Structure 1
Amino acid sequence: MPGNVLLGWLGPLLVAAFGAFLRFDRLGVPKAVVFDETFYAKDAYALSLYGVERATFGDSSDPIADRMLMSGNTDIWISCSPPEADPCPLYVAHPPLGKWLIAVGEQLFGMTPFGWRFAGALLGSLSILILARVARRMTRSTLLGCLAGLLLAVEGLHLVLSRTALLDIFLMFFVLAGFACLVVDRDHSRSRLVDRYENSSVTDHGPWLGLRPWRLGAGVLLGAACAVKWSGIFYLVAFIVMALLWDAGARRAVGLRRPYSGTLSKDLPTLLGAMGLLPALTYLASWSGWFVSSLGWGRNWAQATSQGPFFFVFDSLRSWLAYHFQVLSYHSALSTTHPYKSEPWSWPLLLRPVAFFYEGTDDVCGVKTCAQAVLGVGTPIIWYGGLAALLAMIVWYVSTRDWRAGAVLLGYVAGWVPWFYWAIADHRTMYNFYTIPMVPFMILAITLAAGLILGPADAVPSRRLLGSVVVGAFAFLSIANFWWLYPVLSAEVIPHEEWWRRMLFRSWV
């Protein structure tokens, strides 16, 4: 990693601080329940109380209901029907880790909009730092790393999800962090391979490279992604294949006679432990609250504790798997009509974003009719520029087999293509914000394309100047586009006419 180490950290940290300001400023606005916060904020609070998700039965005098009823939003509180217990088991469709993270903010700052949005804003801000650092590592350029972080900081969908208590921002964070660990592992393992190849006698297969702590970290993080939402499995599988190809490429590049069989015999066993067993254990650990409690949905506690410790483990796992099959059936059959549902083919074009919040008000913004809105939409300049950059990555990879282009394309495809199956086979209800794990890879594609436009450091000055103008203009337009949309991304109260002007497509309404 050439260049100044201090600047390599200072630049990304400053960009991340800028992004954190955008995400934490007025985080408690709107002071209301935004979209699916009605589920996750409540579930998170129940987790902090009981270790499992529980629905509260009672009237508005119930202490949990009292804390969550505000600004007239009574629909956040769910009662049992029939009322078998108070509180009663609650069936949920997603693993608990994301809700545990939301619960941390609620415990620190109370059962308030700021409290339940805190964790998302924090990890959203940290993801800007991670992206800037991984882009620097992939390009060997602090400037390009800061460009990547800046683009994520002003990306509209990332901002909205960072300021909303939904699960998807946590999924994106763990996927990106896992990918970053694998990129670091790639550098370290290649250096170790070269060192062992040059300083010892090796077989045709090459040496074993040890446990590789960065790969272990990737396994934990990708397991955490699955423990937020099951769609994390798409990335786990894709990155296992990517890591194997990187290992085989390294052994071939160093000159080993049998690189592929060397990868299978030396790297695959460790890989299966790091990115097979370890993610499974991480996922299982995220359900600890359910295992140690008698209060969870489908827990069958009395049956599990009836015949000794071995039966307890066996029956608990059986009940846990039965619960998972119920959830799988639910997701497969989820085809409810929703006004903001969209098909995967339309997602990169931003044709149907989700209106997370809208409230019309009178005489509070200087004119008769005002609007306060949160629209879950990406910054169009970045998204359409990203499409062009992804096409460039296809050409670059086909022509040069550059690993960076391949990794970016794989990351984007892993978050997009699997949804086509659910759309075609099951007609599943889906939303545009499912794309958030793809966004860092789209921005990495833009960053790599920017590096190609700038040219190498020793290029003729006129080439560098022209490239700087093009890349600088794109960054400026991205910031300007974000600034224009910011009022409808962050629930600013503006004249209704100004809100309407920002609806760039009629399908946004």
Structure 2
Amino acid sequence: MNFADDSKTHVKTWILAAIILITALTLRWVGLGSIKEAIFDEAHYVPAAEVLVGLKEHPGMGLWASHPLIGKAPAPNFEHPLLAKFLIVFGLRMFEDPYWGARFFPALAGSASLILMAFLALRFFGKPIPVLLALLFLGFDSMSMLHSRLAMLDIFLMTALIGLLLSSWQLIQDPGNWTTRISSAVWITAGLSSKWVFAFAILGFCWCLLALGRGSLGKRFQTLVLVGLISLGLYHLWFIYYAAHGFSYGEWLEFHIAANAVTTGKLAQHPYGATAFSMLGNSRNIWYYFKQLPGQMTVGLVGLLNPLLIFSALPALGLVFFNYRKTRQLQDIFILGWFACCYLPFHLVLMERQGFLYYMLLVLPIIILAVIRMLDILSRKVSLKALAVGYASLFLAVSAFYMPVVLAWPMTRDYYLMLIRFTGV
């Protein structure tokens, strides 16, 4: 890359990266429990989490009560696995303020995602400027920031994905490294235990290791089998909990099939539902929360990705594709393959069901890598410093414009109406 090797420049870059990291972390924690109401799907996940540990009685499964397996699920939110909900309820029990407590572990996961993204950018690009950009893009992206402040599940999914991207990149270089094998299994288990849609990331991991890994095919396949067996062993620990609720081992396996068949096949006619195509166009956005305050002041939360970042995705992926055809760079095919594995299956899964824009958190880190790689490729013709400064400035300007609907700042009603028009919700 055309980054300056001057040590003073590097020191300044690292200092700026540290400032960006501290600012992004602060925005994820300040006022975390300020909204004393359930926001959006917190109304589903928090009660389900309380049922899991006996803080609330099981309300029954409603329409699903007659299903032989779903009717006996340990919590009404049967369509998602248990890890993230357990973490939510652990936070509830740790703090007196239930709203702060329920959002504590999501904020912690969102904070950890920034650290992991910095390590990923450093390993992937090998220079400090990409680290700065990665921290900036993830740290100030609207969707990542918002989900770091809500008691929902998807931030755990994204954090596990970044960890798996990092470990898979390391395994490409050294497929036999046991530390990386184990860390890969941990990330796979954590992601799959938070949301089953993480299976797309597992597909990406398998492709990455077999297609791109160094060494013999036999050694790569051995690593894949070992990581798979460790992941299966760790995930099977959940059977202990289900067994306590009357599931046999066979029923537990069948429950996974039944729950996913129900949730991927049912039509959810939400006005804010997105399609696999519209998600990549940053629509349809969701109003998570809206409240009229006394006088002319209003607060609200809107779920959207940073428009500049998401609209750069297709040009970035296109440029990466053409650059790969010309240079056969490992970085390019890594980005393209991971994006294909994590995003394209949406077209199959969501054909019979609407999705939600926050599903894009599963590909957001890959898009960030693609945009940084785009700037890297373009720097062969134009100064990378000028490109990075220009793009980052526009990105921050867009982030600042949407910040009120990420942090629920009191603003005038006219301002919120203007944001509604701009976001299309």
TM-score, normalisation: structure 1: 0.75
Alpha carbons of structure 1 residues 501 and 3: separation in structure 2 relative to 1, 3 Å: same
Aligned counterparts of 2:318 and 2:135: Cα–Cα separation in 1: 21
Aligned 1:122-161 pairs, distance under 5 A? 122-161=108-147
Count matched residues. 410
- In the alignment, is residue 485 of structure 1 matched against residue 402 of structure 2? yes
Counterpart for residue 102 of structure 1: 88
Specify which of 454, 457, 460 is matched with residue 379 of structure 2.
454
Which residue matches 1:219? 185
2:229 aligns to what?
277
Q: Mark the runs of 5 or more structure 1 residues left unpaired by the alignment.
A: 58-77, 83-87, 190-208, 252-261, 301-315, 364-368, 456-462
CA RMSD of aligned residues (A): 2.7
Q: Percent identity?
A: 22
Cα distance between partner residues in 2 of 1:34 and 1:277:
38
- Aligned pairs (5 A) from 1:180-219: 180-187=166-173, 189=174, 210=176, 212-219=178-185
The equivalent of 2:69 in structure 1 is: none
The Cα of 1:503 is off from its aligned counterpart by 2.8
Instruction: Check conservation: 1:96, 1:287, Cα contact below 8 A.
Output: no
Relative to the length of structure 2, the TM-score reads 0.89
CA distance in 2, matches of 1:48, 1:351: 36
Question: In the alignment, does 2:8 pair up with 1:22?
Answer: no
Change (3 A) 1:3 1:37: farther
Relative to structure 2, which stretch is displaced further, 148-157 or 22-31? 22-31
Q: Secondary structure at the match of 1:415?
A: helix
Indicate if the aligned counterparts of 2:117 and 2:135 stay in contact, CA closer than 8 A. Answer: yes
The 5 Å alignment of 1:82-481 reads 90-91=75-76, 92-110=78-96, 112-187=98-173, 189=174, 210=176, 212-247=178-213, 250-251=214-215, 262-263=216-217, 265-274=218-227, 276-291=228-243, 293=244, 296=245, 299-300=246-247, 316-363=248-295, 369-424=296-351, 427-455=352-380, 466-481=383-398
Cα deviation 1:296-349 (Å, max 9, x = unaligned):
3xx25xxxxxxxxxxxxxxx2022123223312311332021111111101121
C-alpha change, 1:287 and 1:447, in structure 2 (3 Å) is farther
Indicate if the aligned counterparts of 1:16 and 1:126 stay in contact, CA closer than 8 A: no
CA contact (8 A) 2:209 2:220 kept: no
| Distance across 2 between alignment mates of 1:13 and 1:218 | 27
> Distance between the aligned counterparts of 1:89 and 1:217, measured in 2?
29
Q: Which amino acid aligns with 2:393?
A: F
Partner of 2:70: none
SS across alignment from 1:319: helix
Between Structure 1 and Structure 2, whose CA radius of gyration is higher?
Answer: 1
The structure-2 alpha-carbon separation of the partners of 1:327 and 1:113, relative to structure 1 and needing over 3 Å to count, comes to: same
Instruction: Indicate conservation of the 8 Å contact 1:103/1:116, yes or no.
Output: yes
State the AA in 2 paired with 1:376. G
Aligned amino acid, residue 304 of structure 2: V
Instruction: Tell me the alpha carbon deviations over residues 368-387 of structure 1, each in whole angstroms, 9 at most, x when there is no partner.
Output: x3321110001111111233
User: Are the structure 2 counterparts of residues 379 and 210 from structure 1 closer, same or farther at C-alpha, using a change threshold of 3 Å?
Assistant: closer
Aligned counterpart, 1:60: none
Unmatched segments (≥5 aa) in structure 2: 67-72
- State the 4+ residue runs in structure 1 displaced beyond 4 angstroms: 6-14
Distance 1:48 1:29, change over 3 A: same
Distance across 2 between alignment mates of 1:32 and 1:244: 47
